[in-house]
Chain A
């Protein structure tokens, strides 16, 4: 239903997304997880036929978003993050307007149906300016659904809602996701886990991880992949590393280069460093290969983002650091 290949978008000099590749099928709810500025909204806008990519291809329901933009837009229901509505129209008028723009037959019946779906039937004649954020969101979802689209693209659909409203919104999304392809973006990992069949983590315009929520959960505990480089004689190195408690997996890349994975929750680098040095090997490098998912999620949650825990490219040996300090004084 959604096919994205090599999607890249530049805003002038700034590259918003680069070489994105992913797919989504019918009946699937795909989650976009990522911090602000990661490229979620840009990707969604491209998929809606709102703007063209700088390079790459995107197809929705078999139609190219650039060549057949109008066809794509007929089949997509979109709810932007800001939920823009016309304040001086009533709910009913607004939905009818949206329905008319999509050439729906029996527009008024359809509006009634969709109001029913989002439980807004009793507010149909009220002005949109009088609605709370949660109710506006529902109208927005109604607008996205009114033409029975095959694909639904929702940008942060539960942002700004109170807990009760969030539960309702998620129920609605779950319900409509059964028959369609839904792409939604969120900041909240637990939301992605509850709603989505698969999750894509985007950061700085790149897809960092693509997996099911369950797999992500097991990674969340924070297992690390670390690279160890040693100079010179490496007899017995592998065995040594394997014997360090807390190592779950060891892979030898080449002579003197070992990648190991730790048990979730433990940082075994000091132990490995000590073991390697004490055994007489020349330790060259010891650093993590990628940001652990935990670090990414810490960045993604709504509290103050902490700087990533991994900042050192190599492990400094204690004595050297002390010498430097003395010199500076």
Chain B
């Protein structure tokens, strides 16, 4: 367990040294701020016609979209860089288990994203100040909680893909493609039923977030994200092990 923490700690620190993280963070917050501003603007206009204040959705909705797009940038270097420079060989000849390497890297990335999410908390806080009696705390909490789960699984996918490449750019684009695939996958309209349809319906990544979005915490959704995370980490471990056979 200690090894996981050692590796996670290093990866976490490394994010703050790397310019990529700062750029991502900067644009993330700037774009989120923009959406927030827009959202507030249109909500204020709407309030002339209806007596409701903007909910915390105006923060969370763009946040989810942004997270989906920035995750590949966060995960791309985790294993790809080690393979490119050959440092993976040193990690694998240290008395560290393969799964500890994978989980450690995942954890480092996860803690970084959580830090990023914590920074975005500033928007709901501002929103809370702006309206009476305040925003719906339940929706806020479940929204961010769901986001944490979603991020966990996205990270796991990103780690797997990073482990397949020695080139960060390749890892980035493939991760992005997979994210988009999971985002938009749906059964075709003409389909009527059957196992395949059920699979396609239930595998959609963002659909499982919707409950969290509405303030509902459903075990089914938690299970989906946790399974996906576990699956990703497992496959990642297998791939790292496979490196040893080359």
Residues of A with Cβ closer than 8 Å to B?
A: 11, 45, 48-52, 70-71, 73-74, 76, 78, 80, 82, 84-88, 97-98, 100-103, 143
The one of A49, A71, A85 that contacts B93, using a Cβ cutoff of 8 Å:
A49
| Residue pair A97, B6 in contact (C-beta under 8 Å) | yes
Contact flag A84-B90 (CB < 8 Å), given A51-B244, A101-B3, A101-B6: yes
| Residue pair B18, A88 in contact (C-beta under 8 Å) | yes
Tell yes or no: B89 within 8 A of A by CB: yes
Tell yes or no: B111 within 8 A of A by CB: no
Residue interface bits B91-112, CB-to-A below 8 A is 1, else 0:
1111111000000000000000
The one of B7, B93, B246 that contacts A73, using a Cβ cutoff of 8 Å:
B93
The one of A84, A98, A100 that contacts B86, using a Cβ cutoff of 8 Å:
A84
| Residue pair A80, B86 in contact (C-beta under 8 Å) | yes
Tell yes or no: B23 within 8 A of A by CB: no
What A residues does B87 contact at CB under 8 A? 84-86
| Residue pair B14, A88 in contact (C-beta under 8 Å) | yes
CA gap between A78 and B90 in the complex, in Å: 8
| Residue pair B95, A101 in contact (C-beta under 8 Å) | yes
| Residue pair B17, A143 in contact (C-beta under 8 Å) | no
Residue interface bits B179-222, CB-to-A below 8 A is 1, else 0:
00000000000000000000000000000000000000000000
Residues of B with Cβ closer than 8 Å to A?
A: 2-3, 6-7, 10, 14, 17-18, 85-87, 89-97, 244-246
| Residue pair A50, B89 in contact (C-beta under 8 Å) | yes
Residue among B6, B17, B246 with the highest chain A CB neighbour number at 10 A: B6
| Residue pair A101, B96 in contact (C-beta under 8 Å) | yes
B105 to chain A, nearest CB (A): 13
Residue among B2, B85, B95, B245 with the highest chain A CB neighbour number at 10 A: B95
What A residues does B96 contact at CB under 8 A? 101
Contact flag A98-B94 (CB < 8 Å), given A51-B244, A52-B244, A103-B2: yes
B162 to chain A, nearest CB (A): 16
What B residues does A76 contact at CB under 8 A? 93
Residue among B3, B14, B91, B94 with the highest chain A CB neighbour number at 10 A: B94
| Residue pair B89, A102 in contact (C-beta under 8 Å) | no
**Closest B-chain residue to A153, C-beta based?**
B93
| Residue pair A50, B6 in contact (C-beta under 8 Å) | no
What A residues does B7 contact at CB under 8 A? 101
| Residue pair B86, A102 in contact (C-beta under 8 Å) | no
CA gap between A97 and B87 in the complex, in Å: 13
B136 to chain A, nearest CB (A): 43
**Closest A-chain residue to B101, C-beta based?**
A101
**Closest B-chain residue to A48, C-beta based?**
B93
What A residues does B91 contact at CB under 8 A? 101
| Residue pair B244, A100 in contact (C-beta under 8 Å) | no
CA gap between A103 and B3 in the complex, in Å: 8
CA gap between A71 and B97 in the complex, in Å: 11
CA gap between A326 and B18 in the complex, in Å: 74
CA gap between A51 and B245 in the complex, in Å: 6
